[in-house]
Amino acid sequence: MVIYSSRSSIQNEEVSALAIVETLAAVTILFLICYKNESLAPLALGSIIAPFLLLKTQRSIKQALNIADALLPLPFGILFGLYSWLARKSLPLLRINRAVFIIVFSVIALSGIVISTISAAIIVLLSIVIKVLVTTYNFFFHFLECLEAIPSNWRKVVLCTDTATLPELIPGAAESKLDGVRIVMLETMFAALARISKEGAIPVKIAGYSMMSIVIAVSFIPAVAYRLSLKSTALIWSPLLWAVNPIRKAENVRHYALGVKQLARNRIARGYSVFIAIILLGKFGIWILWLQLGQSLRQVLTSPAIDRYLAPEDIITWHLAAFVNAILSWWMFFRADEYLHESSGGQSDIDAPAKKFFKYVGTIKNILTIYTLFCAIYITASLSARIQLPPLKFILVPW
């Protein structure tokens, strides 16, 4: 675990302490918004949109970068061409009397600000269009690849990314060597601001600062909104903590077992498993003592949100799926610890059984995760929809 994120730590899925704090803050803020509006609509909307923001793959990133390299330099060329023109026109005006200079320069500066805003909006709009088109194409033609990328992309945003790392208009721009892509990075824009502050007359600096500040603001807001929309719905999407990459045929078993035992994201998943198990065991205790509970407490527990999520009077199969997933998370940990102990003792013929265990248990965990996640999102949407959706109740036994 790191204190704050960097490009490399995000790529390696190293959990950031600051990212966790930001996620908890975003979840709390969204909860307060829902509470004040007496509606789960903001949470439901964010939860439904979230998967479409998590479909990027290495293939789609490469495609988006190539398209962006061809299209994005044009509005930036217009922007910097305008700045250069403004610099050339402003210097001769310094020799004219102050009144003429103020009027002419104000017109030029205002024009620069307007064109800067338009250029920035075009850059952001093009970035969004590129990502949507590329994501849509890959969703239809490389469907399974996109679905496999969702857990990793979610963890990178929610657990690994924080404000210490500037957002990207085009994913992968920081690692790209394409000039047309790197020019729209926020780091490049801030560097341009630094250059403006060191050269040119004061009026030119003012105009340059105004133009670049607008570009940065317009570019920054959508990228930050993307992060916050995912972080704020982390509670609903938290079952993705259970998702794992089943061991591959050519993967080293010892390396995989070490990851199960030591990686921070897996430690967080085990802690999350304990939390879920305690809640579900508590719900089971409430179910046993239901008739002995006071009337006021029973009214609280049967309020719409609590009743749909916890269903204190029923045994629900998606609760059982979550409980089983919590147990499997710890079973994988103990099995990984056992394998590492046996392998360090020189025992042979233990790789094949361990690989088979990790493969099948990982697959089961992923199936249970998809089912649990679907139920959580469905219930959230049904609680906030104006049109009442049919209740999602899978009762295991008719008690």
In a domain, 395, yes or no: no
Residue reference for tokens 């609680």: 383
C-alpha–C-alpha distance, residues 157 and 15, integer Å: 10
Whether residue 201 is found in the same domain as residue 288: no
**Domain co-membership, 250 together with 215:** no
Does 198 map to a domain?
yes
Q: What is the pLDDT of residue 72?
A: 73
The model's pLDDT over 186-208, given as tens digits with 9 standing for 90+, comes to 666 666 666 655 655 555 566 66
| pLDDT at site 122 | 77
What's the pLDDT at 389? 45
Distance CA(125)–CA(222), nearest Å, equals 10
The percent of the chain in helix, strand and coil, each rounded to the nearest 5, is 75, 0, 25
Its domain, for residue 198, covers 7-232
- Please give the pLDDT value at position 397: 45
Q: What percent of the chain has pLDDT over 90?
A: 11
- Domain-embedded: residue 397: no
Q: Which residue has the higher pLDDT, 293 or 11?
A: 11
Tokens, residue 156: 């990178």
Q: Which amino acid is at 247?
A: I
pLDDT band at 390 (very low <50, low <70, confident <90, very high): low
**Mind giving me the DSSP string for 188-245?**
HHHHHHHHHHHSS-HHHHHHHHHHHHHHHHHHHHHHHHHHHHHHHTTTTTGGGGG---
393 within some domain: no
pLDDT at 387 over 60: no
In order, the DSSP letters of 2-26 are BSS--HHHHHTT--BHHHHHHHHHH
Rg from Cα positions in the chain: 27
Within a domain: 90: yes
Element (H, E) at 248: none
Residues 111 and 193 in one domain: yes
Closest CA to 72 of 121, 115, 114: 121
Q: What is the pLDDT of residue 388?
A: 47
The three-state (H, E, C) secondary structure of 127-180, written as one string: HHHHHHHHHHHHHHHCHHHHHHHHHHHHHHHHHHCCCCCCCCCCCCCCCCCCHH
Are residues 293 and 190 located together in one domain of the fold? no
β-bridge mates for residue 2, sequence order: 16
pLDDT at position 168, please?
Answer: 76
Model confidence at 31: pLDDT above 60: yes
Mean pLDDT of 156-177: 80
Nearest partner of 52 among 217, 233, 242, judged by Cα: 233
pLDDT confidence of 310, banded at 50, 70, 90?
confident
Domain closes at, from 199, 232, 265: 232
- Which of 208, 232, 256 is at the close of a domain? 232
Number of independent structural domains in the chain: 2
Same domain as 107, residue 67: yes
Same domain for 26 and 172?
yes
Beta bridge partners of 316: 395
* Cα 235 to the center of its chain, rounded Å: 12
φ and ψ at 308, to 5 degrees?
-75, -40
pLDDT digits (tens, 9 = 90+) for 350-381: 888 888 899 999 999 999 999 998 888 888 87
**Same domain? 83 vs 227:** yes
From 232, 266, 284, the end of a domain falls on 232
Residues 6+ apart with CB under 8 A from 1: 14, 15, 16, 17, 264
For 180, half-sphere exposure in the C-beta direction (CA atoms, 13 angstrom radius) is: 15
**61 lies in the same domain as 165:** yes
| Rounded CA separation 42/229 (Å) | 10
Q: Enter the pTM of the model.
A: 0.76
Q: In the structure encoding, which two tokens stand for residue 328, read together?
A: 């499997």
The answer on 307 and 189 residing in a single domain is no
Residue 156 Rama label (left phi>0; alpha psi -120 to 50; beta): alpha
The answer to whether position 167 is within a domain reads yes
pLDDT score recorded for residue 398: 43
pLDDT digits (tens, 9 = 90+) for 137-146: 998 998 888 8
In a domain, 310, yes or no: yes
180 with 253, same domain? no
Could you report the per-residue pLDDT of 246-296, keeping only the tens digit for each?
Answer: 787 767 888 888 988 888 889 999 999 999 999 888 877 776 666 566 565
* 212 within some domain: yes
Better-predicted residue by pLDDT, 57 or 79: 57
Which position has the higher pLDDT, 285 or 108? 285
Q: Confidence class of residue 323 from pLDDT cuts 50, 70 and 90?
A: very high
Residue 173 contacts residue 185 (beta carbons within 8 Å):
yes
Mean pLDDT of 34-52: 78
- Helix then strand count (H, E) for the chain reads 16, 0
Is residue 104 located within the same domain as residue 215?
yes
Does one domain contain both 225 and 308?
Answer: no
Query: How confident is residue 233, by pLDDT bands cut at 50, 70 and 90?
Result: confident
